[in-house]
Structure 1
Amino acid sequence: MKNTRREFLKNSALVGAGLSLTPSYGFTIINKPNLSKNSIGHGDFKYRVHKEWGNLNPQTTPVKNCHEMVMDSKGRLIMVTDHVQNNIIVYDKSGKLLTSWTHQMKSGHGLSIFNEGGEDVLFITDNNQRIIKTTIDGKVLMELPNPKKIGLYQERERYRPTETAVAPNGDIYVADGYGSDYILQFDKNGEFIRKFGGKGHQDEKLNNAHGVAIDDRDPNNITLLCTSRVHNSFKRFTLDGQYLETIFLPGAYVCRPVIDGENLYSGACWSRLKYLERVPNSGFVTILDKNNKVVSNPGGTKPKYKHGELQLMLQETPLFHHCHDVCIDEDKNIYVCQWNANKSYPIKLERV
């Protein structure tokens, strides 16, 4: 009989939440598990919602926007925010606060993790033209150069980076998603290599290059996925910047692509209505399989294909405001960070 680790932990958690051993009566039901009765999502990707999972004391650990989250090699969940008191918040998987620290970034936005010689390092992106590489506890190891200050941008071009991704060889890719929509490539020492993309509507161009990720699902053909959010798309490039293909996700204003196993996950910050306008408070999560076909939209409409073409996707369940990022743990649970969501903390989606 097949019994996955995730199924074992799920069943154990249900027993542990609902039963208590007492001297007089043996096992007695003392409370019900704090789980939603209804699941969200589709197919094999359905989830129970833990809306209060990441709630903390806003007086001591405040947030403005919970922008992005990664999991380190010890299983800790590390989140970047734009609150100067807590740029970084570290949770355990129960939602308990482990620690927090700050570099006084007023626009903390992007967070990537990379294992360098057996040690986890972070790349933190501040929209205010700053990207730093740090240890897990916040010691600054390197700061990437500002492309405007080293002659890579024209005078009229803006630089407001949103995200980084690190290739296996240590090369660093920067998405200038709120600026001029370039992808900038640096080597592991911070030396500039090239830039590509840029704002436009051609295949090789981007519009709101909000996220970037290394797609290593095929180890023999590692590529770069770049968000083109206004285009409702991820665009694939070689690691030296050559355009390969577009993954079109109609209706989903996707944030960064997140690779986990054979799947691709993303938060959709907004969805559309039929007249192709983004709608406030209309976010959901979207999940793609190894063939980049959408298989589930937790909080959104069931994915539908007609003649091989993906149809418009919309928010269905009014659970999320603006899904800005997702993080996946080893049991395939999803942690959802939100932007512009009334200073809310992350929500956990428990895989069922």
Structure 2
Amino acid sequence: MKNKSAVGLLVAVLITVVGCKTQKGKLEFVQPDSGKRIAYGEQVKLTLNFPNAAVDSVVYSIDGNVFETKRDTGSVVFDTKSYGLGDRSLSAKVYAAGKEDIAYSNVMVLPPNAQNFGFEVVNTFPHDDQSFTQGLQYQNGVMYESSGRYEKSQLKKVDLQTGKALQSVALDNKYFAEGMTIVDDKIVLLTWMENVAFIYNKENLKQVGSFGYGSSKEGWGLTYDGERMIKSDGTNRLYFLNAKTGAEESSIAVYDENGAVDQLNELEYIDGKVYANVYQQEVIVIIDPKTGAVEGRINLVGMYNENRKPVDNELNGIAYDHQAKRLFVTGKLWSKLFEIKLVAR
């Protein structure tokens, strides 16, 4: 028994020694740990374990882009504000004695905790319970709304007080209407999977143009910030479109303190922020369109329970009265539209 114990102890020591030698001879990131969550704005130190102290150069890259080259084994620092939110791939290529080696790591850069809000219902208005609401916007006393579904899609002007359509236009049966927004004297309406948006005259709802999508193949939500249109496609990205041509010019990924916020749907631009429904959740997130950070989260659970079906009844529709500072919300096939006030939690 004693001999067996001694042999076992010797084997354990040998494994430990060999393991230490193996690790010592490996080029790898010591700091930060792979997959570590980093706060946006943090200065992150990159430290490597070098097999040899003598190096010719070390080339550090983030997402494949070189950001610093050193000729020693000292640490380097990168500013997360320069690279934005989300997964950041780190690499370090080492040149020494005519050879090269490379180490990899990654971090997740996330924003601070979002402010949580509840709600208070200020007013309740009738809403067409046959309207499969996809886009909603209020302007100069009129509610503009797009309603989806194949063979039933339409764009309409609605009287807020009665919920009745003042004017409407039907889409061809092969199109599924999605989000819409007003750009000057035009209305721009997305379609779901048909890869096309239609442009209408705001006064008479006659179609005056169209454009195709770019890399975002589906149409979900749409809003206008006064310079660009902002589009969602059901992912965690917002796309910025040229207001005149509809061409995609850039995009940004949206994250909260937990990670990517997927299924962004109907959008509204309010005081510099993008308010977005999250599909199949009773939640609206408030996004900084410059960084993609979710700064606020509105929990609307329990606001509408009247004769709700198990499917096709999602919260979807955000409109804002910029003059009177009123916030409106509704949903698909809801019989009511609500004016609400946010309550900080």
TM-score scaled to structure 2, two decimals? 0.49
Computing the radius of gyration from Cα coordinates, the structure with the larger value is 2
Q: Whose strand fraction is larger, Structure 1's or Structure 2's? A: 2
TM-score (normalised: structure 1): 0.49
